[in-house]
Amino acid sequence: MKTAFWCWCCLVSMFALPAQAVETVRVGLLQFGTVNWEMATMDRLGVAAREGVEVQIVPLSSKNAVNVALQGGAVDLIVSDWIWVNRQRAAGKDYSFFPYSLTVGGLYVRPDSGIADLADLSGHKLGIAGGPVDKSWLLLQAYGRAQGLDLAQALEPTFAAPPLLNRLMLKGELPAVLNFWHYGARLQAAGMRPLIDVHAMLKGLGISEPVPMLGWVFSEAWAKDHADAMRGFLTASYAAKRQLARSDDDWIALRELTKAEDDATLMLLRDGYRRGIPDRLVDNGEPVAARVFDILSREGGKHLVGDAARLLPGTFWMGLNSQVIYRTATSSDDASR
């Protein structure tokens, strides 16, 4: 009897399916960036593990440190914009971009500033995050020019870090700021008034389609050599997006991580994030990005785009389709419930 039992165990062992191999993906993130919200949700839901991926977060202190970490091989993926990727490809690098978010920044004014439209900015200081070649500032100038306004001459640009701009505005030392979306959400919750966002600027420049402004950035060679890990990571990322799109409770779980001071701020952060989910892009957004590149190149020149005269082939990664991966992530997430 013991012999028969031992033989049965041997057969079970011989024909048992091997455990799914788990591959580590190193993700370089700004220490307090909004991408951490999605990564925390991904971890809590266990969607990366379900896709055979272990995500290792590498916290970094600045945007430059994030870029250097990718270039030095310390991480496999970062979040950046396709302008940077295109510039790197023009310099002979093989980096590529897969959409992460449509959400960008906007212009906010104090309710007591007397600023009701762009023309009213004349003679005022405008706080600007990101420096002289910040994409939002360049697009605002192009939009203003289309309205017959030379904003660079009409107002006084004041460049500073996003948190400092918010503090100066709330203290009344700046009447208007052009800031990133999550800082704008905090301003709006504090009573500041949104005047125009980047989506409206683009629409005024003839671009109504959604534009992926931020994306996962990685080496094409790495993606080819780690195809299963790449697919699994992106599926997990989009599954987390899906969950955050439909569940308010998950935002309650993120409250401490978002550092939202009150319910109004948390809800504005939630709504801004949801507007940015890139589930409606055509060809991952490459055709519309090429048109936006032309505008930014005219406004920012080589200081922004480097040696690239156009959006180069390969800048947008086509190894997966963002609409397909969103549907796959949704189906996978629903099936697990």
Q: Among 144, 174, 204, which residue terminates a domain?
A: 204
The CATH number for 143's domain is: 3.40.190.10
What does the alpha-carbon distance between residue 138 and residue 294 come to, in Å, rounded to a whole number?
Answer: 12
Residue 2 falls within a domain, yes or no? no
| pLDDT given at position 334 | 52
Instruction: Please give the tally of structural domains in the chain.
Output: 2
- Nearest Cα to Cα of residue 258 among 56, 33, 63, 27: 33
Q: Are 80 and 121 part of one and the same domain?
A: no
Q: What is the pLDDT of residues 198-222, one digit of tens each?
A: 999 999 999 999 999 999 999 999 9
Domain that holds residue 328: 22-102+212-335
Residue 244 falls within a domain, yes or no? yes
Q: Are 26 and 86 part of one and the same domain?
A: yes
Q: Are 189 and 222 part of one and the same domain?
A: no
- Nearest Cα to Cα of residue 207 among 293, 292, 134, 81: 292
Q: Are 110 and 76 part of one and the same domain?
A: no
Show the beta-strand stretches assigned E in the chain: 23-30, 53-60, 77-80, 95-101, 106-109, 125-128, 156-159, 176-179, 193-197, 214-219
Q: What is the pLDDT of residues 227-265, one digit of tens each?
A: 999 999 999 999 999 999 999 999 999 999 999 999 999
Residue 248 falls within a domain, yes or no? yes
pLDDT by residue for the chain (337 residues), tens only, comes to 444 434 444 443 444 434 457 899 999 999 889 999 999 999 999 999 999 999 999 999 999 999 999 999 999 999 999 999 999 999 999 999 999 999 889 999 999 999 999 999 999 999 999 889 999 999 999 999 999 999 999 999 999 999 999 999 999 999 999 999 999 999 999 999 999 999 999 999 999 999 999 999 999 999 999 999 999 999 999 999 999 999 999 999 999 999 999 999 999 999 999 999 998 899 999 999 999 999 999 999 999 999 999 999 999 999 998 888 887 775 445 544 4
CB contact at 8 A, 89 and 308: yes
Residue 3 falls within a domain, yes or no? no
Q: Are 220 and 315 part of one and the same domain?
A: yes
Q: Are 97 and 222 part of one and the same domain?
A: yes
Residue 232 falls within a domain, yes or no? yes
The strands making up 156-159's β-sheet, listed across from edge to edge, are 156-159, 125-128, 176-179, 106-109, 193-197
Task: Please list, residue by residue across 142-154, b when 16 or more beta carbons sit within 10 angstroms of its beta carbon and e when fewer do.
Answer: bbbeeeebebeeb
Q: Among 204, 222, 256, which residue terminates a domain?
A: 204
Q: Among 204, 231, 258, which residue terminates a domain?
A: 204
Looking at the whole model, is its pTM more than 0.85? yes
